[in-house]
Chains A and B, each alone.
Chain A
Amino acid sequence: MNSRRVGVERIFSWSALDEKTRVGIIVSVFLLVAISPAVGQSIETGWDIAESGVDSNLNAAAVHGNETWVFGDGGVMLSSSDEGMTWSAMNSDTTADLISADSAYDSMAVLDSTGSVLMKQGLDADWTNIGSPGEGMVDLVLIGQNSLILVGVDGAIWRYSASNWQEIETQFTENLNDISFLDENNGIACGENGTLLFTTNGGISWNYREAPTGSSDSNLISVGYYNPYRLYAASSDGQILSSTTTSAQNWNLVEIESEGYNTSLDENLKSIEVVSASIILFAGPDNYLGVSLDGGNIVEHNIIPDGINTSFNDHAMIDYQKGIVVGNQGVILLTDSSGKNDLVGFEIPDYGNFGEFSEYADDMMLDGFKATVKIVGFGILFGFLIGVILAMFKTAPTNLKGLVEGRPNGIVRTLGGGLAAVGLYLFWEGVSGFSELGLDGIEYIFTPVGDPRGFAMFGLGIALTLLGLLFLSNNGKFSKIEIGRVTLNPWKIRPLNSIATLYTDFFRNTPLIVQFMFIHFGLSLGMEIQDAYESVFGDMGVDGFDYWLLGESAFISAIFTLGLNSGAYQCETIRGAIAAIPSGQMEAGRSIGLTYMGTMKLVIMPQAIRICIPPIGNEMVNLVLNSSLAMVIGYAELSRQGRLIIAVTFQIFWAWGMVMISYFVVTWTLALLLRRLEEKTKIPGLGISGGA
């Protein structure tokens, strides 16, 4: 017993736990991590193979009226009038490779690799060759029934209108890859090294748009313009760029949630097709097709039909669900579901069945459980730290007399004068702002909110003025002041104690739920801390420890609120424990020459903390229970998850029951740990004996 080493490091060791506790912990962990069920479900491709009848590489596709057209190497032209199911070869009068096509304003145009453009000006018109502005053109876009724009290498832009070719001179020289127009005037082109060019006058003049950080070196291969505020672009190595500002002013890299909040799909891309404000289809050279329904946040990797292995080159969508995609070796696939994978065997779950309910709920519950444990863990540490500091503040004996005594009176008075002057200045500055608030009578109690800065100056000003006047009046007697029947001795004021009292009074006399909302929404504390972190250490990224710790602003606000609040309560408990340590202990510590703080740290606190483990344990359990209020600031802890589960399943009894059990597991484990801690740190002759 006597030789047993008592130290915190041993308390949580697994081998030191007795068997009952170990089994308890294992069982509770097991209960929470429910085994995921196996059900006969499968996922199938959302694309069907269409017979093209050719094996040339198919480079471009377009929808023209009721027909769908496909263009490929060697002048191959195919058309389908049944939405892509059957195809027939068309005569093209050329053997050059057809590389790009567009259809709009009832016209259709195709670009070949020599730079010549074939055009069908009207639904029933014949193909006519409108000539070539030169080699090196890669993409074209129609900006009217008889007008179009070509882009190509070295920043070449040619405009065809009124049967004339006109070269657009710009100072941009990067190779351009793709061009897209919203209407006759507004259009965007993209190219190598993050080049984004924007026009508002039908391509006569072009302005540069800055690519988002992280993509300024990217080769932007495709761009899509959906509406005035929705533009997307993609890079050859899988970045998705979006702009939601008019005139494409600002561009952002989309964080792809399905790729772990990465900013790249990790797939090579060839082309994107924007079919609605948020639905985007992706095609890539390595047999890749993908679709996102939410602007790129979640991108589903399409399953490719068996037997297809190609490089996909272009989409042509009839509507946002129906359409085709073409690729090398004559591949044409068609879909009527935006290419989304088919879920076969998936049924709508019956949440009236507890098994199916918990299958849905347990993952969410586990997330909530982890989130709760996370704020509780940090909250406890933080709260305890604050509690200890405040308790030391509250018990600190230093009063104003102690601060002044023994210093030359001249210095004290000079300091007093200075403080009074600063105090008066602050007071005046603070007060003079109040009148602008337009308050009346009792409304003045809200000045701390209306003018926080002014109120802080006002309060600090009063405190400093009084302190300064006191110091000025110092004559070394430190006598008390009598005002009528009331006597008080300002020299006995203990500044640290006053600060701590103000703090605890404030936090204990306002509702926690309001503190949560005030700190998170009012002060935006979580966001401020994130911003401060990012301005010092740079972007915290989307994974790693700093993201885990600071990635969620509600989490930061929650631990601060819980810690600050719990600290105010723990402070009183710890202070009580300090008071319970006989005064002789402080004297004994000081008598061997330790300083006040040294004695506090080495003698008083180690004993006080041991004494207050049980009541502090109660505070910590309270903290766990209080953590449920973090749901009001949108933190996904257990209670909030409970509400979300109910929103989907409508199983109120089961959901709240599960939440309750989960809380019990947290508090009960905590109580066990604390009991263990108490036993382990128990010292003969210290504190009330009892227990084990």
Chain B
Amino acid sequence: MSEVVLSIRDLEKTYPGGVQAVRGVSFDVHQGESVAIIGSSGSGKSTVLRCINRLIEPTGGVIELGGTQINTPRANVNEIRSRIGMVFQSFELFAHLKVLENVTLGLRHVRGMSKSEADKVAMEVLERVDLLERVDAYPGNLSGGQKQRVAIARALAMKPEVILFDEPTSALDPELIGSVLKTIRGLADEGLTMIIVTHEINFARDVADRIVYLDKGLVAEEGPSSIINNPKTERMQRFLASMNEEH
């Protein structure tokens, strides 16, 4: 198997109020692999993702990126974050910047590229997410699907070692979900390393190489995408059943 890009060992997070959101989660993400994290609401999926790029500090465990531990107080968070892309449920585009500027912001101010270099890179990634004709639009004038694709482009432009998707389609109207999922699928096919938190079970099964099922802050089941068809634990069976009812 190819090398491990991201390794999570015994990750724990207890929020200040005392909520034990994550209680010892471990899994590895290999080069070129796409991992889907599924689980019911409140099971700690977002918490895991946010610990990985240190938007929140884990209270225990070890996270390694490319073989070095990144959750130490001494580590340079800004440098780490620029190596990990993040796509949010609510897009979080910079409303005062045009599409192109949203994508180039990190390139120019984190990577230190000139405007022309950054524009070139940005145009390439915007082409990959099929948004070339909207580069001069403000986010406020885009559809939800377009917004999420800009957000993906913004993360992609930084050439991250791994991209984290936190329910990228949950805030979208059903008819807009398709374009975003198609974009993500395209990236998976290109061999991008990614972790996707999603409620789209079918999408997870089709796209992900591996599934991690979280329940109450613990990994309840883990395996190739085929486990969705044959869940071993009763809990996951019930979870999948409830998801199917919804659709």
- Name A residues whose Cβ lies closer than 8 Å to a Cβ of B: 2-3, 405-407, 582, 584-585, 587-595, 598, 602-603, 606-607, 610, 683-686
Q: Are B138 and A592 in contact (CB under 8 A)?
A: no
Q: Can you give 18 contacting A-B residue pairs, CB < 8 Å?
A: A2-B136, A2-B141, A3-B136, A407-B73, A587-B88, A588-B94, A589-B94, A591-B55, A591-B85, A592-B81, A592-B154, A593-B110, A594-B109, A606-B96, A607-B95, A683-B95, A685-B141, A686-B140
B105 within 8 A of A: yes
**A684 CA to B154 CA, complexed, in Å:** 20
Q: How many pairs of residues, A versus B, come closer than 8 Å at their CB atoms? A: 92
Q: Which single residue of chain B is at the shortest CB-CB distance from A603?
A: B94
Distance in Å: Cβ of A480 to nearest Cβ of chain B: 11
CA distance A582 to B155 in the complex (A): 19
- Contact partner of B92 (CB less than 8 A), chosen from A405, A588, A685, is A588
Q: Which residue of B lies closest to A605 (CB)?
A: B96
List of A residues within 8 angstroms of B230 by Cβ: none
**Chain A CB within 10 Å, residue with most, of B55, B73, B83, B96:** B96
Q: Whose C-beta in chain B lies nearest to the C-beta of A609?
A: B96
B43 located at the interface, meaning its Cβ lies under 8 Å from any Cβ of chain A in the complex: no
How far is the CB of B38 from the nearest CB of chain A, in Å? 22
Report the Cα distance A686→B139, complex, angstroms: 9
Q: Which 7 A-B pairs have the closest CB atoms?
A: A685-B140, A406-B73, A593-B82, A684-B140, A592-B106, A588-B92, A591-B86
On chain B, the number of residues with a Cβ less than 8 Å from chain A's Cβ atoms is 36
Q: A683 contacts B96, CB within 8 Å?
A: yes
Compute how far the CA of A592 lies from the CA of B93 in the bound complex, rounded to whole angstroms: 12
Contact partner of A685 among B55, B139, B154, CB < 8 A?
A: B139
Contact with A along B140-169 (1 / 0, CB 8 A): 110000000001001100100000000000
Complex-state Cα separation, A2 to B133, whole angstroms? 12
Assess whether B95 is in contact with A685, with CB atoms less than 8 Å apart.
yes
Chain B positions within 8 Å of A, measured between CB atoms, are: 53, 55, 72-74, 77-79, 81-86, 88, 90, 92-96, 98, 105-106, 109-110, 136-141, 151, 154-155, 158
B-chain residues with CB within 8 Å of residue A686 when the two chains form the complex = 95-96, 140
Q: A606 contacts which chain B residues (CB < 8 A)?
A: 96
- A685: chain B residues within 8 A (beta carbon): 95, 138-141
Known pairs A587-B92, A591-B53. 5 more at Cβ < 8 A? A589-B94, A592-B86, A593-B78, A594-B78, A594-B110
- Which residues of A lie under 8 Å from residue B98 when comparing CB positions? 2
A260 to chain B, nearest CB (A): 48
Measured between C-beta atoms, what is the minimum distance from A368 to chain B in Å? 39
8 Å CB contact of A595 from B53, B78, B96, B140 = B78
- Contact (Cβ within 8 A) A593 B81: yes
In the bound complex, residues from chain A placing their C-beta under 8 Å from that of B110 are: 592-594, 598
Chain A's nearest CB lies how many Å from the CB of B170? 14
Q: Which of A587, A602, A683, A684 contacts B105 (CB under 8 A)?
A: A602
Q: How far is the CA of A588 from the CA of B94 in the complex (A)?
A: 8
Cβ contacts under 8 Å, A406 to chain B: 72-74
Residues of B contacting A602 in the complex (Cβ-Cβ under 8 angstroms): 94, 105, 109
How many angstroms between the C-alpha atoms of A603 and B77 in the bound complex? 18
Measured between beta carbons, the chain B residues less than 8 angstroms from A587 are 55, 86, 88, 92
Assembled-state Cα–Cα distance A591/B105 (Å) = 12
Q: A593-B78, A685-B138 are in contact. Are A598 and B109 (CB under 8 A)?
A: yes
> CA A59 – CA B49 in complex, angstroms?
102
Chain A residue contacts of B78, Cβ below 8 A: 590, 593-595
CA gap between A607 and B93 in the complex, in Å: 12
Determine the distance from Cα of A683 to Cα of B78 in the docked complex, in whole angstroms: 29
The answer to whether B136 and A592 have CB atoms under 8 Å apart is no
Chain B residues with CB under 8 A of A684: 138, 140-141
User: With A2-B136, A598-B109 as given contacts, are A593 and B96 in contact (CB-CB < 8 Å)?
Assistant: no
Query: What B residues does A593 contact at CB under 8 A?
Result: 78-79, 81-83, 106, 110, 158
Expressed in whole angstroms, the minimum distance between the Cβ of B69 and any Cβ of chain A is 13
Kindly list chain B residues whose C-beta atoms are within 8 Å of the C-beta of A603.
94, 105
Residue picked from B74, B95, B136, most chain A C-beta under 10 Å: B95
A683-B136 contact in complex given A584-B90, A588-B88, C-beta closer than 8 Å:
no
Q: How far is the CA of A592 from the CA of B81 in the complex (A)?
A: 6
